Amino acid sequence: MIETDFIPDSLILDKDHGIVQYTSPSNIALIKYWGKLENQIPANPSISFTLNACSTTTKIEYVKLGKRASDFSFDLYFEGLPKEEFKPKITTFFKRIITYMPFLLEYRLSIHTSNTFPHSSGIASSASGMSALALCLMEMERSFTKNMTDDYFDRKASFLSRLGSGSACRSINGPLVQWGKSNYVESSSNLYGIPFPYDVHPIFNNFHDTILLVDKGEKQVSSTVGHDLMHGHPFAANRFKQADDNLGKIIGVLESGNIKEFMKIVESEALTLHSMMMTSNPYFILMKPNTLSIINAIWEFRETSNTHVCFTLDAGANVHVLYPENEKDKVFSFIKEKLVPFCQNGQYICDQIGQGAKKKVIYV
Ligand code: PMV
């Protein structure tokens, strides 16, 4: 599909008001997206586990205006309270998607949103937040059209989410989502994420992700700036090729259940992401001393315990500890005893691979 396929041709705006609500999860990349072209087109393909516990719930109440407005009309409530400071980001998003959602100027929206994880946890809320919002808008669009297929709904929800925040396009479906054009995945696209189209070995069923909150402070460098620094980065071209090669490798690994190879690819991807940051101009470091202490403790434990626990990182200091369901008791005891002491205020979140976004309330 191409961009223009997402411009609706005939909408019947016969609904005066309605309510839509979605819960959408966060996701954690195994192959990392780092570097982009205009409009959040990724410089390399990526793949992620969809999460379950870390999610955003968004409800939109919409009322038809008397006539088409010249500007967006909406209120925003975060955890029950008006949140003026979030509004510019939403306005920017609406401006980016107006071509694809022309009805946005015909309705007044009341947007209520909340997260399951603490706002200041250092867990990015943009993936779950932008995808939950995009899904609500798609549900509105569905009520204005006849015969929208579920495939089109998901693709366009992912397409819109991407325009809000790149990695958000991987939060619509689960348990694994691939995004970005690659010869290894025939139906892949730079415009939206797709459910992983190949077989997945049962060892990855109910895979665990315990997120260790190492540093809950504001990041020194935002991911927008970080992505930008890949322009002119001396290692960029090789990195983009490496990500694609790793995607090819991980497809085979996910199918065969070769967990040792899985751990190698995933950890290498995490460290490569941070190496790109450390070799940007200007360079920066998002890991903290406790991030490294946790990584070393995981490696030591793995040597001696015959388990298959590994780590990944997103653009921050927190560590995602990944392990299979059948090793959960042994690994979780280790996490509590040896890793939680490195967390800020001992905080961590137990999450698991999830199935994607869920519709909660529709009244149209
Ligand atoms: O979606 P963004 O622009 O916040 O970028 C996310 C980048 C990483 O989390 C570091 C990697 C990824 O693929 O999710």
Question: What's the domain range around 111?
Answer: 15-197+354-363
* H/E stretch holding 161: helix 150-164
Neighbours of 82 (CB within 10 A): 11
Average pLDDT over every residue of 72-88: 95
pLDDT surpasses 90 at 123 = no
Neighbours of 324 (CB within 10 A): 20
- The answer to the question of residue 7 being in a domain is no
Query: For residues 114 and 119, which has the higher predicted lDDT (pLDDT)?
Result: 114
pLDDT confidence bin for 5, thresholds 50/70/90: very high
Q: Do residues 35 and 42 make contact, with C-beta atoms less than 8 angstroms apart?
A: yes
- The answer to the question of residue 214 being in a domain is yes
* pLDDT tens digits along 315-347: 999 999 999 999 999 999 999 999 999 999 999
Query: Whose C-alpha lies nearest to ligand 1, atom 6?
Result: 167
pLDDT confidence bin for 254, thresholds 50/70/90: very high
167 CB within 6 A, ligand 1: yes
137/217 same-domain check: no
pLDDT confidence bin for 117, thresholds 50/70/90: confident
- Residue 315 Cα to ligand 1 midpoint, Å, equals 7
Alpha carbon distance 319, 303 (integer Å): 19
- The answer to the question of residue 62 being in a domain is yes
- Point out the ligand 1 atom lying closest to the alpha carbon of residue 127: 1
163 CB within 6 A, ligand 1: no
Beta-carbon contacts of residue 51 (< 8 Å; ≥ 6 apart): 25, 26, 27, 28, 209, 351, 352, 353, 354
pLDDT surpasses 80 at 364 = no
55/185 same-domain check: yes
**pLDDT for 10:** 86
- Residue 166 Cα to ligand 1 midpoint, Å, equals 7
Alpha carbon distance 197, 126 (integer Å): 25
pLDDT surpasses 70 at 121 = no
171/241 same-domain check: no
Average pLDDT over every residue of 12-39: 96
142/86 same-domain check: yes
- Point out the ligand 1 atom lying closest to the alpha carbon of residue 315: 10
**pLDDT for 72:** 97
Number of domains, the chain: 2
190 CB within 6 A, ligand 1: no
Alpha carbon distance 153, 2 (integer Å): 15
- Residue 167 Cα to ligand 1 midpoint, Å, equals 5
- The answer to the question of residue 302 being in a domain is yes
- Point out the ligand 1 atom lying closest to the alpha carbon of residue 31: 13
* H/E stretch holding 271: helix 259-278
191/210 same-domain check: no
221/147 same-domain check: no
327/182 same-domain check: no
Number of residues assigned to the chain: 364
263/344 same-domain check: yes
263/153 same-domain check: no
Average pLDDT over every residue of 166-189: 97
29 CB within 6 A, ligand 1: yes
- The answer to the question of residue 53 being in a domain is yes
pLDDT confidence bin for 298, thresholds 50/70/90: very high
126 CB within 6 A, ligand 1: yes
165/248 same-domain check: no
**pLDDT for 220:** 82
CATH of the domain at 97: 3.30.230.10
Sign of torsion over alpha carbons 257, 260, 263, 265: negative
* pLDDT tens digits along 125-165: 899 999 999 999 999 999 999 889 999 999 999 999 999 99
- The answer to the question of residue 1 being in a domain is no
Average pLDDT over every residue of 63-89: 95
130 CB within 6 A, ligand 1: no
Determine what percent of the chain is predicted with pLDDT higher than 70: 99
CATH of the domain at 235: 3.30.70.890
- The answer to the question of residue 96 being in a domain is yes
- The answer to the question of residue 5 being in a domain is no
pLDDT confidence bin for 16, thresholds 50/70/90: very high
Alpha carbon distance 35, 236 (integer Å): 8
315 CB within 6 A, ligand 1: yes
* 280 class by beta-carbon count within 10 Å (0-12 exposed, 13-18 middle, 19+ buried): buried
SS3 8: coil
169 CB within 6 A, ligand 1: no
Work out the mean pLDDT of the chain and round it to a whole number. Answer: 95
Query: Whose C-alpha lies nearest to ligand 1, atom 4?
Result: 223
pLDDT confidence bin for 219, thresholds 50/70/90: confident
SS3 206: coil
- Residue 332 Cα to ligand 1 midpoint, Å, equals 27
- Residue 146 Cα to ligand 1 midpoint, Å, equals 35
354 CB within 6 A, ligand 1: no
* pLDDT tens digits along 261-289: 999 999 999 999 999 999 999 999 999 99
- Residue 320 Cα to ligand 1 midpoint, Å, equals 14
26 CB within 6 A, ligand 1: no
**pLDDT for 362:** 74
pLDDT confidence bin for 122, thresholds 50/70/90: low
164/276 same-domain check: no
214/157 same-domain check: no
* pLDDT tens digits along 34-72: 999 999 999 999 999 999 999 999 999 999 999 999 999
